[in-house]
Structure 1
């Protein structure tokens, strides 16, 4: 298996766009929400992110090549890897911003530094959970039906990837639909451009050209100056200071569920890779992810890494090991040289959004193709929570756009009856949103067990849902001025509901008889 193959160019463009989106998001949130100075953002946060991205991408490229050599194959695709999008929002809005506001209220001289230290603690804690989870996750993987793991990813792919970029494509149809047409030709039509030019390169180049011709690009004003080369340096002093204070305990309610969320999400992506024919070992794959997150915290980044969704799509593009190396080098250069602002100015996200949309489509299709046909209903049930959680996020975005932003009007339980008058049960959407990864997995696994008439197993999955609801990892939320956020307090209605649902399955053999007719 060679280090680089032609398909790695296509894979690189797709994965690089995905990582670039996260870096642009970090740049915007740190500067505009948290008020980080250029020295802190470009001198500490982004160099720390570069370390975590480089070590992980190089490892997963090496891992893919090693697996290819062990199996005697040349078609192994490295696990995609990057910064965790969900954690970016969680750490900014649930850890760093509250820390800054509390420090400001207390009259601290430098609230942004305190916010940064709180982010380091959250990132370090998440890394420890990810690293520890690597040694027990394989048992969870063996006990969980493939339909439960893959359908969970499909819900995320449909809601948070496909639908979001579909909206964006139709908002910019000249770029979005034209570049989508290029990808359909290459990846679904299995056609090649003459001269061997990669389809992903054609799509991004064409999208960039159209964006400039139609005025979408350049984006904003041209950067006035660069920030020079910024080498990553350890931040052990600030991290130890934050860990020995009260920040760890203050934000444990966010750190623990987000760490567990990252472990489960990465585990599901390893299962997706296995379903696509690449059987990566669970423990070292997850352990490297945890080490990458720890490296981020040790060098100044507040944002955990993850094994990305999308392996089947990159593999279908022809990506192997080299795309991971190229992505790691690209992200490192962007973070260390301060060129992120220039890229954002010249190459709008619209130029590469069709690639991300296509990845979501492939992931969703895989959930049906790689599971037994009889399990299709379980896949559908597993998809629904992810789409529902995305819908809850859209509802919140609509409320903020209408003025519910924590300054003019507060989000509160008073909104529930207003939504219900339009037959929108928003309280159910907000409850579903919290811990939806677990909800999706449990419901799909329960459905598979029922389809196979393993009713005790179905009951066990329901009781697991009751347990996580009791711990506050699922469905438990509190109202804040601008959001509903996870609360590690028992969600008693769901504890009771899952327990009763499990009881139904335990009692079922006593009150039902077997039917061999067709399923309806």
Structure 2
């Protein structure tokens, strides 16, 4: 069997994935400047080229992996796993590791080096997670894995991009219409033009015609072709292995690595539900290797298997979109071309694709699990909704030049159970899986497994992986250690007591 490197729909897949990656790169540039005081020569000369190496190698591997699967199964509809920078780790490392180090030392290079070490250790955790990934997939119900993704998709993906679309309806709604016609109605446009390409073209044209774009500095010679090759920076980490900052923030680094492993497992399960079953071990191992490579070449940000495989598959993307994305990210990172793109193409022109991706993932969570598990899927949505709601609250308070720390969480007691929202947000991916898993086993009357998952939740609460938090001037931070969230540990133990009692009660009645 021959399997082409590129399919026509790979163009649409490329635009969606490239926009998502572009957003991550923009966040890196802006946040590293604002919060960590990093100069342009560090961001554009070291961090972005390092990120490019990991993204290029990972995209090429997952494209090759998909081609091998397609040829072995004699199928022409296999889609590569999407891959890029981990958004959650990006925020966690900047806000809770790099920014505090910079505030303490006023040294952007120290913040950068600690960030590199954090990325390196996160990659090591991901590689170790590959050893037990297959087992985790076997013991975790599909509803638990897909429900977590659905919660993230409906909030952090679909909702955020829906707001951006309706914030600028003049330039965003018409492109969205083309995307909806293309993917909901499955209509082929004249000349076979991809809907995503048409949407971006029309959105860009509308933005310029309606005066949304600034034409005073479209082309700046300083933006073009400042080729910066990747620079090996592994030696910069050696002297800081025993740094007090590394020991201080290891409680964030390790859980984030575990978080990335779980997220990748969920995305692998999502891909299998869509029809593409990839081996767990090599997929997770490559994911971890990508983060390690990124750190050795100066990046502070782990890479990951992205959410959204079912959406790219539904679009018709195969393996070429992954190759195109890797090449695109590499070119703009090594050349500093990001600023030029932002001056020409508005993000609103293409974010309708990402809105649709989120819709597909939410639908999949209900369609690809047993019908009677639908309530478990719904149960698993709440932690992600709480996480998104807390983000909205904090963003609103920052706009008002205040924080939760300044006004105190008790100020919300009468109108909003802010303690519950924050507690549900801490470690929300794990909490989502736990609540959905418990619900599945209760539906199946498997009280023993429901008890085991409840005890797991009690342990994670007791050590602070879920629910434990502290309000600080920098925001809400997790608290780790014995008894970190003992009240939740007690609550989950009460779950376990009831469920094990029901287990023996049911078995006793069956024997009688």
Distance in 2 (CA, whole Å) between partners of 1:246 and 1:481 is 21
> Paired residue for 1:419, among 389, 412, 417?
412
- C-alpha contact (below 8 Å) 1:61/1:78 kept by paired residues: yes
Mapping for residues 495-506 of structure 1, pairs under 5 Å: 495-506=489-500
> Paired residue for 1:452, among 444, 467, 473?
444
**Matching of residue 228 in structure 1 with residue 226 in structure 2:** yes
Mapping for residues 271-282 of structure 1, pairs under 5 Å: 271-282=269-280
- C-alpha contact (below 8 Å) 1:470/1:495 kept by paired residues: yes
Q: Which residue of 1 aligns with 2:47?
A: 45
**Matching of residue 68 in structure 1 with residue 70 in structure 2:** yes
Following superposition, the deviation at residue 387 of structure 1 comes to 1.3
Mapping for residues 305-316 of structure 1, pairs under 5 Å: 305-316=303-314
**Matching of residue 485 in structure 1 with residue 477 in structure 2:** yes
Following superposition, the deviation at residue 177 of structure 1 comes to 2.0
Following superposition, the deviation at residue 511 of structure 1 comes to 5.8
Following superposition, the deviation at residue 21 of structure 1 comes to 0.4
- C-alpha contact (below 8 Å) 1:47/1:335 kept by paired residues: yes
**Matching of residue 123 in structure 1 with residue 119 in structure 2:** yes
Distance in 2 (CA, whole Å) between partners of 1:279 and 1:219 is 47
> Paired residue for 1:157, among 153, 156, 161?
153
Distance in 2 (CA, whole Å) between partners of 1:445 and 1:511 is 21
Q: Which residue of 2 aligns with 1:381?
A: 379
Over residues 277-303 of structure 1, what are the superposed CA-to-partner deviations in whole Å (9 max), with x where a residue is unaligned? 000000100100000000000000000
> Paired residue for 1:302, among 300, 307, 320?
300
Following superposition, the deviation at residue 88 of structure 1 comes to 0.8
3-state SS of 1:453 partner: coil
Q: Which residue of 2 aligns with 1:143?
A: 139
Following superposition, the deviation at residue 164 of structure 1 comes to 0.7
- C-alpha contact (below 8 Å) 1:96/1:115 kept by paired residues: yes
Following superposition, the deviation at residue 221 of structure 1 comes to 5.0
- C-alpha contact (below 8 Å) 1:400/1:482 kept by paired residues: no
Distance in 1 (CA, whole Å) between partners of 2:216 and 2:419 is 39
Over residues 472-503 of structure 1, what are the superposed CA-to-partner deviations in whole Å (9 max), with x where a residue is unaligned? 11011111114111121321111111111111
> Paired residue for 1:438, among 430, 439, 462?
430
**Matching of residue 114 in structure 1 with residue 110 in structure 2:** yes
Following superposition, the deviation at residue 509 of structure 1 comes to 4.3
Over residues 375-433 of structure 1, what are the superposed CA-to-partner deviations in whole Å (9 max), with x where a residue is unaligned? 0000000112111110011111111111115xxxx615x533321222x1011111111
Distance in 1 (CA, whole Å) between partners of 2:259 and 2:310 is 21
3-state SS of 2:60 partner: helix
3-state SS of 1:242 partner: coil
CA-based RMSD: 1.7
> Paired residue for 2:172, among 161, 173, 176?
176
Distance in 1 (CA, whole Å) between partners of 2:234 and 2:219 is 32
- C-alpha contact (below 8 Å) 1:24/1:344 kept by paired residues: no
Distance in 1 (CA, whole Å) between partners of 2:507 and 2:458 is 27
Q: Which residue of 2 aligns with 1:107?
A: none
Q: Which residue of 2 aligns with 1:286?
A: 284
- C-alpha contact (below 8 Å) 1:223/1:341 kept by paired residues: no
3-state SS of 1:479 partner: strand
Q: Which residue of 1 aligns with 2:249?
A: 251
**Matching of residue 26 in structure 1 with residue 5 in structure 2:** no
Distance in 2 (CA, whole Å) between partners of 1:476 and 1:463 is 17
Q: Which runs of 5+ in 1 are unaligned?
A: 105-110, 516-520
Q: Which range moved further: 184-193 or 227-236?
A: 227-236
Q: Would the alpha carbon gap of residues 306 and 354 (structure 1) be closer, same or farther in structure 2, given more than 3 Å must change?
A: same
> Paired residue for 1:237, among 220, 230, 235?
235
Q: Would the alpha carbon gap of residues 219 and 267 (structure 1) be closer, same or farther in structure 2, given more than 3 Å must change?
A: farther
Q: Normalising to structure 2: TM-score of the pair?
A: 0.96
- C-alpha contact (below 8 Å) 2:448/2:503 kept by paired residues: no
3-state SS of 2:230 partner: coil
Q: Normalising to structure 1: TM-score of the pair?
A: 0.94
- C-alpha contact (below 8 Å) 1:218/1:348 kept by paired residues: no
Q: Which residue of 1 aligns with 2:323?
A: 325
Q: Which runs of 5+ in 2 are unaligned?
A: none
Distance in 2 (CA, whole Å) between partners of 1:220 and 1:135 is 54
Following superposition, the deviation at residue 243 of structure 1 comes to 2.0
Distance in 2 (CA, whole Å) between partners of 1:82 and 1:208 is 25
Count of aligned pairs? 503
Following superposition, the deviation at residue 42 of structure 1 comes to 0.8
Distance in 1 (CA, whole Å) between partners of 2:10 and 2:320 is 6
Distance in 2 (CA, whole Å) between partners of 1:320 and 1:511 is 51
- C-alpha contact (below 8 Å) 1:404/1:482 kept by paired residues: no
Distance in 2 (CA, whole Å) between partners of 1:514 and 1:184 is 55
